[in-house]
Amino acid sequence: MSAPSEIRLKRTEQLLEVAWPDGARFCLPAEYLRVESPSAEVQGHGPGQKVIVAGRRHVGILRVEAVGNYAVRIVFDDLHDTGIYSWDYLRALGQEQEARWATYLAELGARGLSRDPARRR
pLDDT 10s digits, 67-100: 999 999 999 999 999 999 999 999 999 999 999 9
One-letter amino acid identity for 46? G
* Helical H segments across 13-121, by residue range: 30-35, 40-43, 87-95, 97-111
pTM of the model: 0.94
Q: What is the pLDDT of residue 46?
A: 80
One-letter amino acid identity for 41? E
Q: What is the pLDDT of residue 121?
A: 67
Number of domains in the chain: 1
Would residue 66 count as lying in a domain?
A: yes
One-letter amino acid identity for 120? R
Q: Over the stretch 7-31, which tens digit does the pLDDT of each residue have?
A: 999 999 999 999 999 999 999 999 9
One-letter amino acid identity for 25? R
The CATH code of the domain that includes 63 is 3.30.2020.30
